Amino acid sequence: MDALNLNIFDIKLMMVIGLFLLGIITLLVGIILLITRSAGKEVRTLATQTAQLAKKGIAEDVAGLVGNASTLLSATNELVRTSAGIGVFLAVLGFLLMAVATWLVLKIS
Question: Residues 57-91: pLDDT tens digits?
Answer: 666 666 665 666 667 667 767 766 777 788 889 99
CA distance 102 to 20: 8
CA–CA distance from 32 to each of 8, 83, 90 (Å)? 36, 11, 10
DSSP per position, 35-69: HHTTT-HHHHHHHHHHHHHHHHHHHTT-HHHHHHH
Q: Assess if residue 87 is contained within a domain.
A: yes
Which residue range(s) make up the domain with 84? Answer: 40-109
CA distance 44 to 33: 16
Domain count, the chain: 1
The residues near 70 (Cβ < 8 Å, ≥ 6 apart) are 54
pLDDT in tens, 44-58: 666 676 666 666 666
Q: Assess if residue 28 is contained within a domain.
A: no
